[in-house]
Amino acid sequence: MCWRQSDANKQDKKNVDIYQLMMDLLRAEEQCISNVRQSEREIQETLEDRVREEMTTELTVSIYDTQRNDKAKIHRQMLVFHATIL
């Protein structure tokens, strides 16, 4: 015969308590899955925004790059021309 010792202060959980705990855990799991799916959607939207931004990027020439910026180049030539006249 095998005797099972149990703590006198510890009460065994009833099936209803265990069932309630299981249902709470299942709800928590469903909420967690929902949160993960929402995060995946947000990440996908962010990636799509980045792709759109990459496709619409226009390269500009810095105003300080006088060799490539036509307005700055003309202005620099005018300054040199006026400096030689004076």
Q: What is the pLDDT of residue 63?
A: 62
pTM (2 d.p.) = 0.50
| Domain, as residue range, for 19 | 13-57
User: How does pLDDT run across 22-61, given as a tens digit for each residue?
Assistant: 999 999 999 999 999 999 999 999 999 999 988 887 766 6
What amino acid is encoded at 86 in this protein?
L
- As a whole number of angstroms, the distance between CA 30 and CA 17 comes to 20
39 part of a folded domain:
yes
33 part of a folded domain:
yes
Give the distance, in angstroms, between the CA of residue 36 and the centroid of all CA atoms in the same chain.
13
- As a whole number of angstroms, the distance between CA 37 and CA 22 comes to 22
18 part of a folded domain:
yes
- What is the domain count for the chain? 1
86 part of a folded domain:
no
Of 3-7, 8-12, 15-19, 36-40, the one with minimum mean pLDDT is 3-7
In this predicted model, which residue has the larger pLDDT, 37 or 86?
37
47 part of a folded domain:
yes
- As a whole number of angstroms, the distance between CA 27 and CA 38 comes to 16
The DSSP code for 65 is -
